[in-house]
Structure 1
């Protein structure tokens, strides 16, 4: 029942977005306006908060390094196979080969089995995912879209990127202990409630846009199967890497379930907005929504297997 409580709201918002497009309740211009609000204002605030408030232990650093390396390799593989997964989508498909949707899929599914006491097991993974999604990928996109190859111009664009600023500032204030100090003051509660209010609409708006763009056409199916199939294989190797580099942790059934559910979750829901400037047509957004939606089905299959055979 807890799985249904987690998954139903996700698909409900996707369905609501789909119906809104079909019925004409929301125009494409209005949808793009919602995209801009989330991407340029709300999401950087959320990324800052995640890194600012995360408790990073000594052992967690090695895990973050491994996951960051694994995600980077997955991105490189994405570029190597982009023509195999469909030349029509090759300008953005590599970015869907990396990252996972932790906070809104993996975390609630995982904690529905083990409880919130073990939530940090997947939150640690999100740190690496955040760095890939909001530093490395924006740098790649700036390089791909920049009209000039001049290093100074490119560097200026990267350093002025709101996501890069949010990540750098969040990590800096985390490592200097500012969050711990803040929570000992009367402003701690004010900060927490403000962030909760600011970030509350993000997930719903993203899922709504995913649903709005969801159009699976016949010419997409072959590429979708190839992309998701190769992604499945790549992330299976990432899971295997945990057995190699962190064998003691993987002997713990609770940790094993965290790894399986997290790395079989779909690409981060923010990816369509991150790569939006690469889109050449409306079909690009349609394909991206289809990748995320079908990725959710894979996650549910894996989750069911974990519940039946491991939990």
Structure 2
């Protein structure tokens, strides 16, 4: 139930509504990162190790680099650190450096997913069943937004962010995280095919939003 915000939802959303609204996707992704790099590793560790003490497991989660980065980012935002970075002209240097570091990584991930997309007919039924389950659950989350944040959902820019984010594939790090649970190549190809299906779904939703939801 994670969503790939950084490599799929965010660039599509920026292309659609502009970088000034990127905070909508980033806000969703903070929660996603906590799940992706906190809850998922904990579940995998418990599944593979069977008996894991609570305190060492909790420490491992809290000290995970991604979790630390999110916490530091939130603290920096509360303290308005970005304002001082912009005044000191460090923002451009930081942004360019991060872009140089992450762009090749994202390309390699996308290539690996496409390269590993080997759909076997025997996997078609469980793939469709699992995809339907995920669509229903993500649809329930979107419905929750309409229920609890009706004013925000009336704003097309925010609505587009919600629809696009929860149509995106499972987080790209997940296949690496759950690799220990894969018994053979069929398991790995199933994971790749599942993510690839939702990449296509994200493109369909993006097209729909472009033609309909964002139409004035």
Between the aligned partners of 1:245 and 1:286, the Cα distance in structure 2 is 38
User: 4+ runs of 1 displaced by more than 6 Å?
Assistant: none
Q: Would you say the 8 A contact 2:17–2:157 is kept in 1?
A: yes
Between the aligned partners of 2:89 and 2:9, the Cα distance in structure 1 is 33
Match of 2:139 in 1: 236
Shift of the 250–221 alpha-carbon distance from structure 1 to 2, 3 Å rule, reads same
Shift of the 156–263 alpha-carbon distance from structure 1 to 2, 3 Å rule, reads closer
Q: Would you say the 8 A contact 1:142–1:157 is kept in 2?
A: no
Match of 2:100 in 1: 197
Match of 1:217 in 2: 120
Aligned ranges for residues 262-277 of structure 1 at < 5 Å? 262-277=165-180
Q: Given the alignment of the two structures, is residue 257 of structure 1 paired with residue 160 of structure 2, yes or no? A: yes
Q: Given the alignment of the two structures, is residue 164 of structure 1 paired with residue 72 of structure 2, yes or no? A: no
The number of residues matched between the two structures is 214
SS class of match (2:202): helix
Match of 1:38 in 2: none
Between the aligned partners of 2:187 and 2:199, the Cα distance in structure 1 is 19
Match of 1:296 in 2: 199
Structure 2 unpaired stretches of 5+: none
Match of 1:114 in 2: 17
Match of 1:149 in 2: 52
Query: How far 1:187 moved relative to its partner?
Result: 4.2
Aligned ranges for residues 4-23 of structure 1 at < 5 Å? none
Normalised TM-score (structure 2): 0.85
Q: Would you say the 8 A contact 1:224–1:291 is kept in 2?
A: yes
2:29 to 126, 140, 145: 126
Between the aligned partners of 1:115 and 1:247, the Cα distance in structure 2 is 23
Q: Would you say the 8 A contact 1:142–1:158 is kept in 2?
A: no
Between the aligned partners of 1:113 and 1:193, the Cα distance in structure 2 is 22
Q: Would you say the 8 A contact 2:142–2:162 is kept in 1?
A: yes
Between the aligned partners of 2:90 and 2:137, the Cα distance in structure 1 is 44
Normalised TM-score (structure 1): 0.62
Q: Would you say the 8 A contact 1:134–1:167 is kept in 2?
A: no
Shift of the 184–248 alpha-carbon distance from structure 1 to 2, 3 Å rule, reads same
RMSD: 2.3
Match of 1:51 in 2: none
Q: Given the alignment of the two structures, is residue 182 of structure 1 paired with residue 93 of structure 2, yes or no? A: no
Between the aligned partners of 2:176 and 2:170, the Cα distance in structure 1 is 12
- 245-254 or 166-175: which moved more? 166-175
Query: How far 1:231 moved relative to its partner?
Result: 0.7
Query: How far 1:226 moved relative to its partner?
Result: 0.4
Shift of the 168–277 alpha-carbon distance from structure 1 to 2, 3 Å rule, reads farther
Query: How far 1:133 moved relative to its partner?
Result: 0.8
Structure 1 unpaired stretches of 5+: 1-97
